[in-house]
A and B are shown apart, each in its own frame.
Chain A
Amino acid sequence: MSSKTTFIGAVEIGTSKITALVGEYTGREIAIIGCGESTSRGVIKGSVVDFRAATECTHNALEIAERDANERIDHVYLAQTGGHLEGFYNEASVNVKAADNMIEMDDIRTVCDLAKAKDLPLGRMVVHNIRRPFRVDGRLVPTSPENLVGQKLEVGYWTVHGQEQRLADNIHVIRGFNLEVRELVLSSLASGHMVTSMEERQNGVLAIDIGAGTTDYVLYRNGAPHTTGVLAVGGAHFTNDLSIGLRLTEGQAEKLKLRFGRAVSQARDKGEKVWLDGNFAIGDRQFSRHAIESVTAARAWELLDVVKRRLGHAFSPEACAGGVVLTGGAAKMPALVECASKVFGTSARLGEAPTWVNENLRDPGYHTALGILYYGVSSLSDNAAATRRKGGFLHNVSRLFAPT
């Protein structure tokens, strides 16, 4: 455990806003001491398309966060999303080497390396290797199988990979602030970890983070991420549909969506009208409430249905006792929980941050950034523990007698 205080930055470059949080990590605990937010420009569906504009907005958020914290960030954990991210599952098995069939560390390393070894298409790079639980002779082992007895050791990895240029763009935006990117964290993993409990993850839960430009989802089983995915569809598409369907500007459509949009149509009276602005000014118009709700409900159903189809056989209501947890800015749409419950055929709820999170950061829009911070602390703790293990007295003594 390091006694030095580290100031961790958690950055989410989203389609509608860029969020930066500063956490003060003392080696024992983390305190969120700064928050910066900036309207996003130059980012479409989670990918940087205008480097200068995206850099400007991100740096603005970082500056605000540093000013708020009154400290300088040491390194950054960066959220990663976008339609370019894909995942696949690969597994491997080895026969246990030892004569007494006791699994050794070497067996574990071998099977893990084999499971992770998979050729990627040109220009693709691994972002995450998410390990699923080990199996020893078909028996599920959630933790390390070292010293267990068995003949066959199996493990599988869910590998998330993305396009090299898009990953590089995101990293270079942060490097433009002269900050090191310590880790890329999948948005779905970050937000999913914040809104689900350990018990839910053990029993199976699906976390869906609906942002403005993308929808990230992660399915947990047996306490670990099983499948992740990203759809390049988000809250902005609800607005776009309204804009096209009702012949409105994007601003007007956004306003209608926020005021009258619902994920499940409720209006029974097709003649019920609502005003665009409600101030009777020139240009103020009336729209059918039923029409608005129909558009948003259809899109919400479609979005969740696509997620369900993407998950395929991985998702079943029986294997997902924790139900569906919705988060992200667009998840605040009324009746989205009801819609998700219908689509997935299981219980659904709106995700909430843990109780230790400050009231100002409890909005679903901050769950990803909070999750990244949590992820950063976990990785720092793991590194510190690994360093302790490596640098221990017994380790040093054993090295003296180790064969060269």
Chain B
Amino acid sequence: MSKDTHTMPETRSWREIPQEVRPRAMSREGRRRLAMGVTRAILGVLAAGTVAWGAWEMAAVLRENPDSMPSAAKSDRVRRLVLVTDGVLDQNWLARTLAIPQDATLMGLDLNELRLRVLADAQVSSAAIARNFPDRLTVRISERSPVARLMAQAAGGTPAMLLVSRDGVAFAGKGFDPAMEATLPWLDGVRLVRSGGSFVPIGGMRAVSDLLGAAKLEAENLYRSWQVISMARLASDGEIEVRTRDGMRVVFGTREDYLRQIARLDLLVDDSTDPTRPLREVNLALGSQVPVAYGKAAPALSEPPVNTAVAPGSSNPVIAFPAFSSLRADTHREL
């Protein structure tokens, strides 16, 4: 028996029932699902279209003018160096430091090596270098700010002035205003140790920086007179010695708040109005007890000191306790 499909009756299955339903006949959730489905379909078509268009455009570019593509391998040579800094270094310094050959291409540069070159200058604390196609190299740096200066002399060399930053890094300051440099106090009692092309950071510089910062902010008249900051006894005794331009020695202790010590010094300086008894030594490192020593006045102007205790046969000032009878109370009131 063979099959004859023409004589077989056509049985209708439930699958012939159309499943399309008008959105109006749908429930709210059904319509929401339909809308989401349509949205997904549209987004899918758009995404596929975008990809196809992109591929077509790329094919056209490759076919007609491949050189117009900003290919990384075919990047132009470096035409512009851009320096973004928070300090004083300039474009010339950057060009000198990077020393990029004339025909170097942007992609041919080793950014890591260039960054190391920039960081080799101790004046730079951090650096980031970025390529900006087609021909620009951008260097972003952060510079160290000097808080003091010191004079260094290599064996057999000429003395050279170095600036010292808050983190103790000594560097040859470039581009700073000489007038600003002249206002910085000198550091004394410091031993510089070479490490490669630079120096090992000076230890304890943070304490000195805090003192200088507090003085500059709160008593600028005092700060301006400070000439030398000695760190000789910083590590051993926790004392910072300041020598002023008029020959006074002030000892600050690192264990007590600098503001309090500066306030006491300011009070002493204000009270010391007698030109015949200038202040010669003030030790603020002993807490509320402040030993002071008065010196002699200049010979032309001086008169024999009245209250200063002078050791027989000695011209050196002697420490006298207390400098003022009311110092302790006043100090407490002031601070």
- B-binding residues in A (CB < 8 A): 55-56, 59, 62-63, 72, 93-95, 97, 109-110, 113-114, 116-120, 124-127, 159, 162, 164, 167-168, 171-172, 175-181, 184
Contacts and interface: CB of A to CB of B under 8 A. Distances in A.
B68 interface: no
Interface string B1-23: 11101001101111011011100
B315 to A, nearest CB: 95
Contacts of A168: 17
Given A56-B27, A126-B13, A184-B14, A175 B8 contact: no
B30 interface: yes
Shortest Cβ-Cβ A-B pairs, 9 listed: A178-B33, A117-B8, A110-B3, A175-B21, A119-B9, A178-B30, A94-B1, A177-B30, A178-B34
Interface in B1-60: 1-3, 5, 8-9, 11-14, 16-17, 19-21, 25-27, 29-31, 33-34, 37
A307 B121 CA distance: 101
Contacts of A113: 3, 5, 8
A59 B8 contact: no
Contacts of A178: 21, 26, 30-31, 33-34, 37
Given A117-B8, A126-B13, A59 B19 contact: no
B21 A176 contact: yes
Contacts of B16: 125
Contacts of B11: 116-120, 126, 159
B27 A118 contact: no
B8 A176 contact: no
A62 B26 CA distance: 14
Contacts of A109: 3
Contacts of A162: 14
Interface string B72-114: 0000000000000000000000000000000000000000000
Nearest to B25: A176
Greatest chain A CB density within 10 A among B1, B16, B31 is at B1
A118 B9 contact: yes
B30 to A, nearest CB: 4
Nearest to A177: B30
B21 A164 contact: no
Given A63-B29, A178-B33, 19 more contacts: A93-B1, A94-B1, A110-B3, A114-B3, A116-B11, A117-B9, A125-B13, A126-B14, A171-B14, A171-B17, A175-B19, A175-B21, A175-B30, A177-B26, A177-B30, A177-B33, A178-B21, A178-B31, A184-B14
A127 B11 CA distance: 11
Interface residues of B, number: 24
A59 B14 contact: no
B17 A164 contact: yes
Contacts of A118: 9, 11
A119 B8 CA distance: 9
Nearest to A165: B17
Given A116-B11, A126-B12, A167 B27 contact: no
Greatest chain B CB density within 10 A among A116, A168, A177, A178 is at A178
Interface in B281-330: none
A126 B26 CA distance: 26
Contact of B14 (A95, A125, A180): A125
A95 B33 CA distance: 53
B1 A59 contact: no
Nearest to A124: B12
Contacts of A177: 26-27, 29-30, 33
A125 B26 contact: no
Contacts of B2: 97, 110
B239 to A, nearest CB: 71
Contacts of B20: 175
A172 B21 CA distance: 7
A241 to B, nearest CB: 34
A59 B29 contact: yes
24 contacts: A56-B27, A62-B29, A72-B33, A110-B3, A113-B5, A113-B8, A114-B8, A116-B11, A118-B9, A125-B12, A125-B13, A125-B17, A126-B13, A126-B14, A167-B17, A171-B17, A175-B21, A175-B30, A176-B21, A177-B26, A177-B27, A177-B30, A177-B33, A178-B37
A175 B29 CA distance: 11
Contacts of A116: 11
A127 B16 CA distance: 11
Nearest to A94: B1
A59 B31 CA distance: 12
Contacts of B26: 175-178
Interface string B120-139: 00000000000000000000
A117 B1 CA distance: 15
Nearest to A92: B1
